[in-house]
Structure 1
Amino acid sequence: MDPVTPVPSSLTTDLAAVVGADHVLTDAADVAPYATDWRGAYAGTPLAVVRPGSTDEVSAVVRLAHEAGVAIVPQGGNTGMCGGATPSGDGSQVVLSLGRMRKIRDVDPVSSTMTVDAGVVLAEVQQAAASVDRLFPLSLAAEGSCTVGGNIATNAGGTAVLRYGMMRSLVLGLEVVLPDGRVWDGLRSLRKDNTGYDLTQLFIGAEGTLGIVTGAVLTLHPATPARATSWVALPSVAAAASLLPLLRDHAAERLTTWELVSRPALDLVVSQGVPDPLACDAPWFGLIELAGPAGATVGDDLESALGAAVEAGLVLDAAIAGSPAQRDGLWALRERISEAQESLGPTIKHDVSVPITSLDDLVSRLAPALEQALPGIRPIVYGHVGDGNLHYNLSRPESLEPDAFWARAAELSAIVHDCTVELDGSISAEHGLGSSKAAAASAYKSEVEVSLMRSVKDALDPRGLMNPGKVLPLG
């Protein structure tokens, strides 16, 4: 990492007076964990890292930075995929880490809501909900380290979107520090509020470019202790899409998860020591889970659905978990893919969505196009059938050096994105845009859409100091 640019003494002194000297980091060793994303794909050089412990402290820090004309990069668990929480490399930006803000302010099982600080880890929210026999359904691989603020900033998705929706469907109210340091207190638990523009939704998915989320009111759901989980072998992606309405017909709202995994992705996870429950030479596989209240007949529903699916030729073989340990083993086949792919070296990640009926077209078009562009390329494909979202990740040909592979990243991503947009899809389904996709997203959007987004940005952050270069490209 480049040496950290000396911090103006007046600013660091003022910041230290707000949060305490121990929470203003400037030494290279101290700022290093905040300067690079978890994959090592994005790195910068922060002017300083500031760790406030309350909303009032966040407000004071933002006000000082605003007065000094210093840009702020908000950071939660630093588990993002697109460089959205990474500072620039010129040493001009302050990283504002919300990691100290870990309070669960209120849990209300009657209204099924929970109010939390933005720095609370997702797994802690899940546990707090479970303690009052409720469910917070957002679930993703990084749930042990990602934070609520980051989930809100990127409008996180995960494996239960099919049933519960994205993060924006799970947020009732927000507390936000605005670019000039003012605090908007929108921490309301109302299900109905038609008193004007929905400001809460404005900040969800904005990646800290319009303000810093410091607190949130989350909506909880009934607990679903009854689970039925199956790993299935599939003849095609088209079969996976056709299986969705069949599963819904048999399970209705109890269908929580319908995930898709390609053969190369499965082989990669199995090579890392995760057992394969099926000895089936199929090109595609899937994970199905039904969930319901205690006593629900989810097992019967699943067996009925799988029987109909086999009869229709949509499923070639299936394994049903008979214990919690077996369920964990089936989930590991899906959740360990990203980690396992790291063993292949550099990965060009894509997070795209298309209409569910176009999933087969997408994979059918991309495989030959990418192979023609770079023979020997290794696509590792997996995702969420229920919402049309695929993680179409690319690993380098074994004969190609990593630097040469990275040099082709823009060309290869353009192939993936062009095909996605041709099918009326989105180049970012749940990971956000960050710095890596900001320019591409603007290029694919209409002039009107980009203009509207810039108008919102300019209205709330006229000086452009909130996470500059993320979501919208600079300039």
Structure 2
Amino acid sequence: MPDALNRQPIAEELLDTLVYRLGADYVLTEASDMLPYVQEQRRLYPGHALAVVMPACTADVAYIVKQCRHHGVALVPQGGNTGLVGGGVPHQSIVVALGRMNRIRDIDPTNATITVEAGCILQAVQDAAHDAGRLFPLSLAAEGSCQIGGNLATNAGGINVLRYGNARDLVLGLEVVLADGRVMNGLTALRKDNTGYDLKHLFIGSEGTLGIITAAVLKLYPMPRGKATALVGCDSPHQVLALYDQLRSRLSDTLTAFEFLPRFAMDAVLSHVHGTRAPFNQSFASYALIELTTPDADLDLNPRLEAALADAFENNIVCDAIIATSSKQSQELWRLREGVAEAQIAEGASIKHDISVPVSRIADFIEAASAACLSILPACRICAFGHVGDGNLHFNVSQPVDMEANDFMDLTPRFNRAVHDLVADMNGSISAEHGIGLAKRTELRRYQDPVALALMEGIKTALDPQGLFNPGKLL
């Protein structure tokens, strides 16, 4: 039975009804069994669950919601539990783990759509699309374990937003279980449908606070048949921004990814990530990882990228560049970007900010935010990297080499204020792609427009009057 030291007792009647519906194997109440569902990956927000339930279908989810509503018990929908802001952490709640709901319900290559259940692993959706000769372009570091329901509930971003948009832009329709147990069947596969409010957008990015997404119709795209990848060294973020502007104008929609790394990130990856090697004979202050793709197998992108970079050399924007000549070399260049998170862990504690500003302000932001953080702690190390092409920067601050991690993390409020105030001054966002969860609730109230907050609270009250869906998150 549940651990009485950490959790309030769950009503026996509710537990019995859930076991009767789902089976004892799919209703977990032992603390050891529930541990993977109550701990988030960074271990910053300990949680306590009353139980973990594992529905097999949408009807099961509706049943669970109705029973919990009857007993006044809160629910936390959970996908792969890969979030970074504590959005899936339960507190005296039942965790609704959606991993069993992992069917590909339909795939229509001609309509360029795939209908999937919320528990589908992102990579499984990518693979199903690939097998049908199509691309599902959402791609992020956790794609081998994160689930589509969580991706949509947090409006996930990733490396391909520049060309294909966020998760929100990839959705045509949703199936959602509401707080009273009704099922909203909005699984439309239409590109044009103006029959009233576009309700799906209420639930995408809502972090499970308004309803439980159980299935989605997603957009597919032509499979890329050609690709070009390059790594560029520059003297400053301003040069990187100038390079982006030039490539965007010249290469248009073939520019799929444009990622930024500072010297600190590159050096950390080379020091700590196995199998990486220095791309150049010297170090640079800033790096850009660039990828072009096309569905046209006859279009050779390498000469186009080479010509564009040659112009950048002539304009003193680029100091050095490598264009991959094979898939293996392309993977090696991407490994330098993908290894940043791993390398940061090896460098010690890190205070993280997931921000966005207008693309035109990215370089100014990096310089100003770096100066502000160094004024707080001169020995701190700035690791600002990310999806510069869409204005999203992971502005992280790593602990000094001679400072205790706990002492460094105690400075989090000061760093947050310096960084987020600057974001606000530039009309940016304090959460570009990770969500609000537990981590940024206070920050949201500080920076969000009060009228917008009031509207959000009104929507929450209207759709979840008992406040049972993922309580304490976002609002």
Q: What TM-score do you get using the length of structure 2 for normalisation?
A: 0.97
The residue aligned with 1:279 is 281
Partner SS, residue 156 of structure 1? coil
Q: For the residues of structure 1 that align with 2:435 and 2:463, how far apart are their CA atoms?
A: 20
The residue aligned with 2:292 is 290
The sequence identity of aligned pairs, in percent, is: 48
The residue aligned with 1:470 is 473
CA contact (8 A) 1:50 1:94 kept: yes
Partner SS, residue 431 of structure 1? coil
Partner SS, residue 465 of structure 1? coil
User: CA offsets, 1:341-378, max 9 Å, x none?
Assistant: 11123322110000111111111111121112123112
Partner SS, residue 253 of structure 2? helix
After TM superposition, give the deviation of residue 5 of structure 1 in Å. 4.2
CA contact (8 A) 1:234 1:314 kept: yes
Q: For the residues of structure 1 that align with 2:189 and 2:248, how far apart are their CA atoms?
A: 31
Indicate which of 391, 394, 398 corresponds to 1:391: 394
Partner SS, residue 291 of structure 2? strand
Q: For the residues of structure 1 that align with 2:349 and 2:81, how far apart are their CA atoms?
A: 19
Partner SS, residue 175 of structure 1? strand
After TM superposition, give the deviation of residue 14 of structure 1 in Å. 1.1
Unpaired runs of 5+ residues, structure 1, are none
Q: What letter corresponds to residue 103 of structure 2 in structure 1?
A: K
The residue aligned with 2:377 is 374
Tell me, yes or no, if structure 1 residue 162 matches structure 2 residue 165: no
Unpaired runs of 5+ residues, structure 2, are none
Q: For the residues of structure 1 that align with 2:70 and 2:417, how far apart are their CA atoms?
A: 40
Q: For the residues of structure 2 that align with 1:322 and 1:270, how far apart are their CA atoms?
A: 21
CA contact (8 A) 2:27 2:54 kept: yes
User: CA offsets, 1:399-440, max 9 Å, x none?
Assistant: 222222222212211111111111111000011111101221
Q: For the residues of structure 2 that align with 1:197 and 1:105, how far apart are their CA atoms?
A: 25
Partner SS, residue 215 of structure 1? strand
The residue aligned with 1:218 is 218
The residue aligned with 2:178 is 178
- Aligned pair count? 469
Report matched runs for 1:7-406 at 5 Å.
Answer: 7-88=10-91, 92-272=92-272, 273=274, 274-293=276-295, 294-406=297-409
CA contact (8 A) 2:241 2:362 kept: yes
The residue aligned with 1:452 is 455
Q: For the residues of structure 2 that align with 1:138 and 1:353, how far apart are their CA atoms?
A: 19
After TM superposition, give the deviation of residue 6 of structure 1 in Å. 3.7
Q: For the residues of structure 1 that align with 2:175 and 2:154, how far apart are their CA atoms?
A: 16
After TM superposition, give the deviation of residue 44 of structure 1 in Å. 0.6
After TM superposition, give the deviation of residue 452 of structure 1 in Å. 0.8
After TM superposition, give the deviation of residue 4 of structure 1 in Å. 4.5
Q: What letter corresponds to residue 468 of structure 1 in structure 2?
A: P
Deviates more, 1:440-449 or 1:240-249: 240-249
Q: For the residues of structure 1 that align with 2:109 and 2:222, how far apart are their CA atoms?
A: 10
After TM superposition, give the deviation of residue 157 of structure 1 in Å. 0.6
CA gap 1:346/1:5 in 2 versus in 1, 3 angstroms: farther
Deviates more, 1:208-217 or 1:338-347: 338-347
CA contact (8 A) 1:65 1:71 kept: yes
Partner SS, residue 355 of structure 2? strand
The residue aligned with 1:435 is 438
Q: For the residues of structure 2 that align with 1:457 and 1:5, how far apart are their CA atoms?
A: 25
Partner SS, residue 258 of structure 2? strand
Q: For the residues of structure 2 that align with 1:407 and 1:463, how far apart are their CA atoms?
A: 36
Q: For the residues of structure 1 that align with 2:284 and 2:349, how far apart are their CA atoms?
A: 27
CA contact (8 A) 1:4 1:27 kept: no
CA contact (8 A) 1:52 1:58 kept: yes
Q: For the residues of structure 1 that align with 2:347 and 2:7, how far apart are their CA atoms?
A: 32
Q: For the residues of structure 1 that align with 2:353 and 2:361, how far apart are their CA atoms?
A: 17
CA contact (8 A) 2:28 2:53 kept: yes
Q: What letter corresponds to residue 267 of structure 1 in structure 2?
A: D
CA contact (8 A) 1:7 1:26 kept: no
CA contact (8 A) 2:173 2:218 kept: yes
Q: What letter corresponds to residue 220 of structure 1 in structure 2?
A: L
Partner SS, residue 48 of structure 2? coil
CA contact (8 A) 1:280 1:317 kept: no
Q: For the residues of structure 2 that align with 1:359 and 1:69, how far apart are their CA atoms?
A: 46
Q: For the residues of structure 1 that align with 2:179 and 2:355, how far apart are their CA atoms?
A: 31
CA contact (8 A) 2:268 2:347 kept: no
* 4+ residue runs over 6 A deviation: none
User: CA offsets, 1:4-38, max 9 Å, x none?
Assistant: 54432211111111211111111111000001111
Q: For the residues of structure 2 that align with 1:3 and 1:385, how far apart are their CA atoms?
A: 43
User: CA offsets, 1:144-178, max 9 Å, x none?
Assistant: 11111111011011011110011111000000000
Q: What letter corresponds to residue 148 of structure 1 in structure 2?
A: I
Q: What letter corresponds to residue 99 of structure 2 in structure 1?
A: G
Q: For the residues of structure 2 that align with 1:352 and 1:248, how far apart are their CA atoms?
A: 22
User: CA offsets, 1:69-99, max 9 Å, x none?
Assistant: 11111110111110000112xxx21111111
Q: What TM-score do you get using the length of structure 1 for normalisation?
A: 0.97
